Amino acid sequence: MALVTTKKMFEMAYKNGYAIGAFNVNNMEITQGIVAAIAEEKAPLILQISRGAREYAKMSYLKAIIDVAVAENPDIPICMHLDHGDTFELCKQCVDDGFTSVMIDASHLPFEENVKITKKVVQYAHAHGVVVEAELGRLGGIEENVVGVDDVSAHLTDPAQAEEFVKRTGCDSLAVAIGTSHGAYKFKSEPKIAFHVIEEIQKRLPGFPLVMHGASSVLKEFKDLINKYGGKMPDAMGVPEEAISRAAKMAVCKVNIDTDLRMAMTAKIRQVFAEKPSEFDPRKYLGPARDAIKEMVRHKLHVLGCAGKAAECR
Protein backbone atom coordinates (compact mmCIF):
# COMPACT_ATOMS: atom_id res chain seq x y z
CA MET A 1 0.00 0.00 0.00
CA ALA A 2 1.06 3.61 -0.43
CA LEU A 3 2.20 5.83 2.41
CA VAL A 4 -0.64 6.60 4.82
CA THR A 5 -1.43 9.28 7.38
CA THR A 6 -1.69 8.53 11.09
CA LYS A 7 -5.46 9.09 11.20
CA LYS A 8 -6.56 5.44 11.22
CA MET A 9 -3.53 4.38 13.29
CA PHE A 10 -4.39 6.80 16.07
CA GLU A 11 -8.10 5.99 15.99
CA MET A 12 -7.36 2.31 16.57
CA ALA A 13 -4.55 2.94 19.05
CA TYR A 14 -6.78 5.17 21.19
CA LYS A 15 -9.70 2.76 21.00
CA ASN A 16 -7.70 -0.36 21.82
CA GLY A 17 -5.15 1.01 24.28
CA TYR A 18 -1.78 0.94 22.55
CA ALA A 19 0.64 3.37 20.90
CA ILE A 20 2.39 3.49 17.55
CA GLY A 21 6.18 3.54 17.50
CA ALA A 22 7.65 6.55 15.71
CA PHE A 23 11.27 5.78 14.85
CA ASN A 24 13.79 8.31 13.55
CA VAL A 25 15.71 7.31 10.43
CA ASN A 26 19.07 8.57 9.26
CA ASN A 27 20.37 5.94 6.86
CA MET A 28 19.61 2.65 5.13
CA GLU A 29 20.72 0.28 7.90
CA ILE A 30 18.63 2.00 10.57
CA THR A 31 15.58 1.94 8.32
CA GLN A 32 16.12 -1.70 7.35
CA GLY A 33 16.42 -2.75 10.99
CA ILE A 34 13.23 -0.93 11.94
CA VAL A 35 11.22 -2.22 8.99
CA ALA A 36 12.43 -5.82 9.41
CA ALA A 37 11.11 -5.83 12.97
CA ILE A 38 7.85 -4.21 11.92
CA ALA A 39 7.32 -6.74 9.13
CA GLU A 40 7.91 -9.72 11.43
CA GLU A 41 5.70 -8.34 14.18
CA LYS A 42 3.03 -7.05 11.77
CA ALA A 43 2.83 -3.64 13.38
CA PRO A 44 1.91 -0.20 11.98
CA LEU A 45 4.85 2.16 11.58
CA ILE A 46 5.76 5.84 11.64
CA LEU A 47 9.14 6.66 10.10
CA GLN A 48 10.31 10.08 11.25
CA ILE A 49 12.76 12.38 9.51
CA SER A 50 14.30 15.16 11.54
CA ARG A 51 16.03 18.25 10.29
CA GLY A 52 19.34 16.69 11.28
CA ALA A 53 18.59 13.62 9.16
CA ARG A 54 17.66 15.78 6.18
CA GLU A 55 20.90 17.71 6.52
CA TYR A 56 22.93 14.50 6.90
CA ALA A 57 21.46 12.32 4.17
CA LYS A 58 19.31 14.63 2.00
CA MET A 59 15.59 14.20 1.61
CA SER A 60 15.87 12.49 -1.78
CA TYR A 61 17.95 9.63 -0.37
CA LEU A 62 15.80 9.14 2.73
CA LYS A 63 12.55 9.24 0.80
CA ALA A 64 13.90 6.71 -1.72
CA ILE A 65 14.79 4.33 1.12
CA ILE A 66 11.32 4.73 2.62
CA ASP A 67 9.70 4.25 -0.78
CA VAL A 68 11.48 0.87 -1.06
CA ALA A 69 10.31 -0.10 2.43
CA VAL A 70 6.73 0.75 1.50
CA ALA A 71 6.92 -1.15 -1.79
CA GLU A 72 8.38 -4.26 -0.15
CA ASN A 73 5.80 -4.28 2.67
CA PRO A 74 2.42 -3.72 1.02
CA ASP A 75 0.50 -5.06 4.02
CA ILE A 76 2.12 -2.69 6.53
CA PRO A 77 0.67 0.82 6.99
CA ILE A 78 3.64 3.21 7.00
CA CYS A 79 3.51 6.95 7.64
CA MET A 80 6.37 9.32 6.74
CA HIS A 81 6.52 12.09 9.35
CA LEU A 82 8.49 15.30 9.78
CA ASP A 83 9.86 15.47 13.32
CA HIS A 84 10.18 18.89 14.98
CA GLY A 85 9.53 21.16 12.05
CA ASP A 86 10.09 24.67 13.37
CA THR A 87 8.74 26.89 10.58
CA PHE A 88 5.76 27.01 8.26
CA GLU A 89 8.14 26.98 5.29
CA LEU A 90 9.78 23.71 6.37
CA CYS A 91 6.41 22.05 6.98
CA LYS A 92 5.14 23.26 3.60
CA GLN A 93 8.24 21.90 1.87
CA CYS A 94 7.74 18.48 3.48
CA VAL A 95 4.06 18.39 2.55
CA ASP A 96 5.08 19.20 -1.02
CA ASP A 97 7.83 16.53 -0.88
CA GLY A 98 5.34 13.76 -0.09
CA PHE A 99 5.31 13.48 3.70
CA THR A 100 1.98 12.19 5.00
CA SER A 101 2.37 13.80 8.43
CA VAL A 102 4.25 16.86 9.66
CA MET A 103 5.04 18.28 13.07
CA ILE A 104 5.14 21.99 13.67
CA ASP A 105 6.98 22.69 16.92
CA ALA A 106 6.47 26.29 17.96
CA SER A 107 6.35 25.37 21.65
CA HIS A 108 9.27 27.70 22.42
CA LEU A 109 7.17 30.68 21.34
CA PRO A 110 4.42 32.49 23.30
CA PHE A 111 1.06 30.70 23.28
CA GLU A 112 -0.66 33.00 20.79
CA GLU A 113 2.24 32.79 18.35
CA ASN A 114 2.25 28.99 18.66
CA VAL A 115 -1.48 28.97 17.87
CA LYS A 116 -1.00 31.26 14.87
CA ILE A 117 1.83 29.27 13.26
CA THR A 118 0.23 25.90 13.98
CA LYS A 119 -3.10 26.96 12.50
CA LYS A 120 -1.33 28.14 9.34
CA VAL A 121 0.43 24.78 8.96
CA VAL A 122 -2.82 22.90 9.61
CA GLN A 123 -4.66 24.82 6.92
CA TYR A 124 -2.00 24.11 4.30
CA ALA A 125 -1.43 20.47 5.29
CA HIS A 126 -5.11 19.57 5.50
CA ALA A 127 -5.69 21.06 2.06
CA HIS A 128 -3.16 18.50 0.79
CA GLY A 129 -4.44 15.51 2.78
CA VAL A 130 -1.63 15.63 5.34
CA VAL A 131 -2.09 15.45 9.12
CA VAL A 132 -0.39 17.74 11.64
CA GLU A 133 1.22 17.16 15.03
CA ALA A 134 1.82 20.21 17.22
CA GLU A 135 3.53 20.71 20.57
CA LEU A 136 2.55 22.54 23.75
CA GLY A 137 4.77 22.73 26.82
CA ARG A 138 8.55 22.33 26.89
CA LEU A 139 10.61 19.17 27.15
CA GLY A 140 14.07 19.00 28.64
CA GLY A 141 17.34 17.70 27.22
CA ILE A 142 19.09 18.15 23.90
CA GLU A 143 18.65 16.22 20.67
CA GLU A 144 19.86 17.42 17.26
CA ASN A 145 18.44 20.92 16.71
CA VAL A 146 16.01 20.67 19.63
CA VAL A 147 17.15 22.27 22.89
CA GLY A 148 14.90 21.76 25.89
CA VAL A 149 14.58 23.38 29.28
CA ASP A 150 16.52 22.53 32.43
CA ASP A 151 13.55 22.14 34.78
CA VAL A 152 10.96 20.01 32.99
CA SER A 153 8.60 20.04 35.97
CA ALA A 154 8.15 23.80 35.55
CA HIS A 155 7.17 23.53 31.88
CA LEU A 156 4.53 20.78 31.85
CA THR A 157 1.65 21.15 29.42
CA ASP A 158 -1.33 22.92 30.96
CA PRO A 159 -4.46 20.82 30.25
CA ALA A 160 -6.75 23.86 29.94
CA GLN A 161 -4.35 25.44 27.46
CA ALA A 162 -4.13 22.15 25.57
CA GLU A 163 -7.91 22.08 25.15
CA GLU A 164 -7.96 25.66 23.87
CA PHE A 165 -4.96 25.06 21.61
CA VAL A 166 -6.43 22.00 19.90
CA LYS A 167 -9.81 23.64 19.34
CA ARG A 168 -8.27 26.82 17.93
CA THR A 169 -5.64 25.22 15.68
CA GLY A 170 -7.39 22.09 14.44
CA CYS A 171 -4.19 20.03 14.84
CA ASP A 172 -4.58 16.24 14.61
CA SER A 173 -2.35 15.25 17.52
CA LEU A 174 -0.46 17.04 20.27
CA ALA A 175 2.96 16.41 21.77
CA VAL A 176 2.72 17.16 25.47
CA ALA A 177 5.32 17.87 28.11
CA ILE A 178 4.80 15.33 30.89
CA GLY A 179 8.30 15.18 32.41
CA THR A 180 10.26 13.47 29.65
CA SER A 181 13.44 14.81 28.01
CA HIS A 182 15.31 14.45 24.76
CA GLY A 183 18.60 12.57 24.56
CA ALA A 184 20.23 9.87 26.67
CA TYR A 185 20.55 11.87 29.90
CA LYS A 186 16.91 12.48 30.66
CA PHE A 187 16.91 12.35 34.47
CA LYS A 188 19.28 13.00 37.37
CA SER A 189 17.19 10.93 39.78
CA GLU A 190 14.24 8.52 39.68
CA PRO A 191 12.08 9.38 36.63
CA LYS A 192 8.64 10.82 37.38
CA ILE A 193 6.09 11.04 34.59
CA ALA A 194 3.12 13.40 35.01
CA PHE A 195 0.32 10.95 34.29
CA HIS A 196 -2.15 13.38 35.85
CA VAL A 197 -1.54 15.74 32.92
CA ILE A 198 -2.45 12.98 30.45
CA GLU A 199 -5.55 12.10 32.45
CA GLU A 200 -6.77 15.69 32.62
CA ILE A 201 -6.23 16.32 28.90
CA GLN A 202 -8.00 13.05 28.15
CA LYS A 203 -11.02 14.26 30.12
CA ARG A 204 -11.05 17.58 28.31
CA LEU A 205 -10.37 16.14 24.84
CA PRO A 206 -11.83 12.63 24.76
CA GLY A 207 -10.60 10.60 21.82
CA PHE A 208 -7.83 13.05 20.93
CA PRO A 209 -4.38 11.48 20.39
CA LEU A 210 -1.39 12.67 22.41
CA VAL A 211 2.29 12.18 21.60
CA MET A 212 5.16 11.31 23.94
CA HIS A 213 8.49 12.80 22.89
CA GLY A 214 11.77 12.02 24.61
CA ALA A 215 10.57 8.46 25.21
CA SER A 216 13.69 6.37 24.67
CA SER A 217 14.43 4.12 27.65
CA VAL A 218 18.24 4.17 27.34
CA LEU A 219 18.27 0.39 27.62
CA LYS A 220 20.82 -1.00 30.07
CA GLU A 221 21.84 -3.72 27.62
CA PHE A 222 23.22 -1.17 25.18
CA LYS A 223 24.52 1.28 27.76
CA ASP A 224 26.58 -1.53 29.31
CA LEU A 225 27.95 -2.61 25.91
CA ILE A 226 28.91 0.94 25.01
CA ASN A 227 30.69 1.43 28.33
CA LYS A 228 32.34 -2.00 28.18
CA TYR A 229 33.90 -1.22 24.84
CA GLY A 230 35.27 2.23 25.54
CA GLY A 231 32.21 4.45 25.78
CA LYS A 232 31.45 6.85 28.60
CA MET A 233 27.72 6.87 29.40
CA PRO A 234 27.65 5.97 33.11
CA ASP A 235 24.86 8.38 34.08
CA ALA A 236 22.58 7.91 31.07
CA MET A 237 18.97 7.36 32.19
CA GLY A 238 15.76 7.13 30.17
CA VAL A 239 12.02 6.67 30.57
CA PRO A 240 11.07 3.36 32.28
CA GLU A 241 9.30 1.04 29.87
CA GLU A 242 6.49 0.41 32.34
CA ALA A 243 5.73 4.14 32.23
CA ILE A 244 5.62 4.05 28.43
CA SER A 245 3.27 1.06 28.49
CA ARG A 246 1.00 2.83 30.97
CA ALA A 247 0.87 5.99 28.85
CA ALA A 248 0.10 3.89 25.76
CA LYS A 249 -2.99 2.52 27.49
CA MET A 250 -4.19 6.08 28.07
CA ALA A 251 -4.38 8.84 25.46
CA VAL A 252 -0.79 8.58 24.19
CA CYS A 253 -1.06 7.15 20.66
CA LYS A 254 2.46 7.94 19.36
CA VAL A 255 5.76 7.37 21.11
CA ASN A 256 8.98 8.80 19.66
CA ILE A 257 12.11 6.64 19.78
CA ASP A 258 15.49 7.87 18.56
CA THR A 259 18.16 7.61 21.26
CA ASP A 260 17.58 3.87 21.71
CA LEU A 261 18.22 3.37 17.98
CA ARG A 262 21.49 5.26 18.20
CA MET A 263 22.58 3.34 21.27
CA ALA A 264 21.80 -0.07 19.74
CA MET A 265 23.80 0.80 16.63
CA THR A 266 26.73 2.33 18.52
CA ALA A 267 26.94 -0.54 21.00
CA LYS A 268 27.23 -3.19 18.29
CA ILE A 269 29.72 -1.24 16.22
CA ARG A 270 31.89 -0.68 19.29
CA GLN A 271 31.70 -4.39 20.09
CA VAL A 272 32.79 -5.42 16.59
CA PHE A 273 35.69 -2.97 16.58
CA ALA A 274 36.84 -4.16 20.02
CA GLU A 275 36.56 -7.88 19.27
CA LYS A 276 37.84 -7.63 15.68
CA PRO A 277 40.19 -4.65 15.54
CA SER A 278 41.40 -5.59 12.07
CA GLU A 279 37.89 -5.34 10.61
CA PHE A 280 37.55 -2.67 7.94
CA ASP A 281 34.53 -3.88 5.94
CA PRO A 282 31.55 -1.61 6.80
CA ARG A 283 29.17 -4.48 6.07
CA LYS A 284 30.75 -6.49 8.88
CA TYR A 285 29.93 -3.88 11.54
CA LEU A 286 26.86 -2.19 10.05
CA GLY A 287 25.22 -5.60 9.57
CA PRO A 288 25.37 -6.51 13.28
CA ALA A 289 24.27 -2.95 14.12
CA ARG A 290 21.24 -3.38 11.85
CA ASP A 291 20.41 -6.68 13.58
CA ALA A 292 20.65 -5.02 17.00
CA ILE A 293 18.24 -2.31 15.89
CA LYS A 294 15.83 -4.93 14.61
CA GLU A 295 15.73 -6.81 17.92
CA MET A 296 15.45 -3.60 19.94
CA VAL A 297 12.51 -2.42 17.82
CA ARG A 298 10.80 -5.82 18.13
CA HIS A 299 11.02 -5.45 21.89
CA LYS A 300 9.65 -1.89 21.78
CA LEU A 301 6.62 -2.94 19.74
CA HIS A 302 5.53 -5.18 22.61
CA VAL A 303 6.18 -2.43 25.15
CA LEU A 304 3.92 -0.16 23.09
CA GLY A 305 1.34 -2.90 22.53
CA CYS A 306 1.17 -2.37 18.74
CA ALA A 307 2.65 -5.72 17.65
CA GLY A 308 0.13 -7.54 15.47
CA LYS A 309 -1.97 -4.40 14.89
CA ALA A 310 -1.05 -3.63 11.28
CA ALA A 311 -4.23 -5.05 9.77
CA GLU A 312 -6.59 -2.97 11.90
CA CYS A 313 -4.64 0.22 11.13
CA ARG A 314 -4.81 -0.03 7.35
Short-list 139, 229, 154, 248, CA closest to 185: 139
Query: Sign of the CA dihedral 206, 209, 214, 220?
Result: positive
Residues sharing a CB contact under 8 Å with residue 49, sequence separation 6 or more, in sequence order: 24, 25, 59, 62, 80, 81, 82, 83, 94, 99
- CA–CA dist 1, 3 (Å, integer): 7
Short-list 181, 178, 268, 179, CA closest to 225: 268
- CA–CA dist 305, 20 (Å, integer): 8
- CA–CA dist 247, 251 (Å, integer): 7
What would you measure as the largest C-alpha separation in the chain, in angstroms? 60
Verify whether residue 83 is a known catalytic residue. yes
> In sequence order, what DSSP letters do the residues of 236-279 get, joined into one string?
-B---HHHHHHHHTTTEEEEEE-HHHHHHHHHHHHHHHHH-TT-
CA angle, 242 as apex, 25 and 215 as ends, to 5°? 30
DSSP 81: E
Find the catalytic residue in 75, 83, 86, 281: 83
Bridge partners, 85 (sequence order):
104
CA distance between the termini of the chain: 9
Active site amino acids: 83
